[in-house]
């Protein structure tokens, strides 16, 4: 599959490429990750000024109307440069949920600050024993007058240390594993009785364990209808997978390019690595894996843009196939670079770590193989 981009989409891609090439090379990225905050507010402001944070949103809510294809274009470039700024968490996850199920008042209140870069958001849905089950929610929300009181813990909330607001899933009715009864709430990250235990992730980002101990949230900050949060999270997961697959494809492309260049210069037994036929075959397999992943990623995002039936099944198929392809390419790139492949000074190890993290976000490849089979059987 080869998407023919419109003039506006090509302009978006070239703008992102130019910005990241000039301001976000590997050395700049390493300094950002090593900084106290772990991300760059300067670059975040640049993204907002270029309209990148508004690009995926519809024109009806004040965005630029780019949809999933705009997200795909940007995330692929972000994957090439190992971007750590919380575009995925703020725009794709939180912003996507607000646009999808938020009231007109909530959209008018929250989305302008997201698109202008004024506010950072994070989605707190996973719990310690929930694995990848969106409906496995132990955090509770009980009604008290005009508010809900939230209690529970959320695990590995990426970008939470940077966030101004969180979208938190909590059970308003039913048992712990029930699909129905889960609701979503907008929670101020600085609310009383909300505590964060921050940590670095293996790929250089920042995340936190979030503890809510009787956190009071006005009823007006419920996102969507009460008890219908799992359906909203499932739609969010499909969009998230489309974005993560695009980022993965960008990372795979860079790993292949770095490995090919290294094989042309590194000599072993008096000959370059690229002259050995067995290694040529391996790099051909890496190239094929990238092309297959690229085609499937584009297919998925076209399906999301067209709102096609069966897109959720396709999302699981893509997450699995591209996840396995990425692991194969990352493993080969590290091995072909030898011991230096995992050093901090070389970008190869950083791509390896990022791919490893993506592979467990919203379900690992094995989980999505099973889910694909289940959805296929139900179709």
CA dist 100 and 307 (Å) reads 13
How many CA within 13 A on the CB side of residue 222? 21
Select from 160, 227, 224, 159 the least CA-distant residue to 195: 160
| CA 315-98-107 angle, 5° bins | 145
- What pLDDT digit, counting tens, does each position of 243-279 carry? 999 999 999 999 999 988 878 776 666 677 655 666 6
CA distances from 239 to 35, 56, 127, 214, 233 (A): 30, 11, 21, 32, 10
pLDDT, mean of residues 134-149: 97
pLDDT, mean of residues 198-215: 97
3-state secondary structure of 137: coil
CA pseudo-torsion sign 74, 237, 357, 264: negative
Give pLDDT, residue 4: 84
Location of structure tokens 């094995």: 366
> How far is CA 286 from its chain centroid?
23
CA dist 271 and 261 (Å) reads 15
pLDDT, mean of residues 359-373: 96
Give pLDDT, residue 269: 65
Give pLDDT, residue 336: 84
Q: How large a percentage of the chain has pLDDT more than 90?
A: 86
Residue 316 has pLDDT above 90, yes or no: yes
Select from 368, 336, 323, 194 the least CA-distant residue to 261: 336
Q: Are strands 222-223 and 165-171 parallel, antiparallel or unpaired?
A: unpaired
CA dist 161 and 335 (Å) reads 35
Give pLDDT, residue 338: 80
Residue 327 has pLDDT above 80, yes or no: yes
Give pLDDT, residue 104: 97
Give pLDDT, residue 232: 98
CA distances from 57 to 69, 95, 107, 254, 328 (A): 11, 8, 11, 28, 34
Select from 169, 58, 53, 167 the least CA-distant residue to 104: 58
In DSSP notation, 12-32 reads HHHHHHHHHHHH--HHHHHHH
Contacts of 65 (CB under 8 A, 6+ apart): 57, 58, 59
Give all domains of the chain, ordered by start, each with its CATH number. 7-119 (1.10.540.10), 122-226 (2.40.110.10), 231-378 (1.20.140.10)
Q: Out of 185-189, 277-281, 358-362, which region has the weakest mean confidence (pLDDT)?
A: 277-281
Q: Out of 8-22, 271-285, 289-303, which region has the weakest mean confidence (pLDDT)?
A: 271-285
Give pLDDT, residue 264: 75
User: Which stretches of the chain are DSSP H helices?
Assistant: 7-23, 26-34, 41-49, 67-81, 87, 96-101, 104-115, 229-265, 277-306, 311-337, 347-358, 365-378
pTM: predicted TM-score of the whole model, two decimal places: 0.96
Give pLDDT, residue 377: 85
CA dist 235 and 157 (Å) reads 19
Residue 219 has pLDDT above 80, yes or no: yes
Return mean pLDDT, the chain. 94
> Both tokens of residue 232?
């909203």
In DSSP notation, 148-167 reads EEEEEEEEEEETGGG-SEEE
Give pLDDT, residue 267: 62
Give pLDDT, residue 2: 67
Q: Are 318 and 311 in contact (CB under 8 A)?
A: no
Residue 22 has pLDDT above 90, yes or no: yes
pLDDT, mean of residues 160-179: 95
């Amino acid at each position: 599959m080869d998407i023919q981009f419109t003039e506006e989409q090509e302009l978006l891609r070239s703008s992102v490429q130019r910005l990241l090439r000039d301001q976000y090379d590997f050395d700049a990225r390493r300094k950002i990750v090593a900084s106290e905050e772990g991300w760059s507010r300067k670059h975040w402001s640049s993204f907002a000024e270029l309209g990148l944070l508004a690009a995926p949103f519809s024109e009806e809510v004040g965005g630029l109307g780019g949809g999933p294809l705009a997200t795909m274009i940007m995330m692929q470039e972000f994957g090439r440069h190992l971007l750590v700024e919380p575009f995925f968490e703020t725009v794709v996850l939180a912003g996507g949920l607000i646009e999808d199920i938020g009231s007109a008042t909530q959209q008018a209140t929250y989305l302008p600050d997201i698109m202008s870069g004024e506010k950072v958001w994070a989605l707190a849905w996973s719990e310690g024993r929930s694995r990848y089950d969106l409906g496995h929610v132990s955090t509770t929300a009980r009604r008290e007058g005009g508010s809900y009181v939230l209690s529970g813990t959320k695990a590995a909330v990426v970008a939470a240390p940077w966030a101004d607001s969180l979208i938190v899933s909590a059970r308003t009715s039913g048992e712990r594993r029930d699909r129905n009864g889960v609701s979503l709430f907008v929670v101020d990250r600085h609310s009383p009785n909300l505590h964060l235990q921050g940590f670095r992730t293996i790929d250089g980002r920042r995340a936190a364990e979030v503890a809510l101990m009787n956190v009071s949230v006005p009823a007006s900050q419920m996102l969507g209808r009460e008890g219908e949060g799992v359906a909203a999270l499932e739609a969010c997961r499909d969009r998230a997978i489309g974005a993560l697959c695009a980022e993965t494809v960008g990372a795979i492309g860079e790993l292949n390019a770095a490995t090919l260049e290294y094989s042309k210069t590194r000599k072993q037994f008096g000959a370059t690595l690229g002259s050995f036929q067995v290694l040529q075959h391996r790099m051909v397999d890496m190239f094929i894996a990238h092309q297959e992943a690229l085609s499937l990623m584009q297919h998925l995002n076209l399906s999301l843009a067209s709102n096609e039936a069966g897109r959720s099944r396709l999302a699981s198929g893509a997450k699995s196939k591209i996840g396995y392809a990425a692991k194969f390419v990352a493993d080969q790139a590290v091995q072909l670079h030898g011991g230096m492949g995992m050093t901090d000074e070389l970008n190869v190890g950083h791509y390896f770590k990022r791919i490893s993290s993506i592979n467990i976000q919203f379900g690992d490849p094995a989980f999505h193989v099973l889910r694909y089979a289940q959805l296929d059987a139900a179709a």
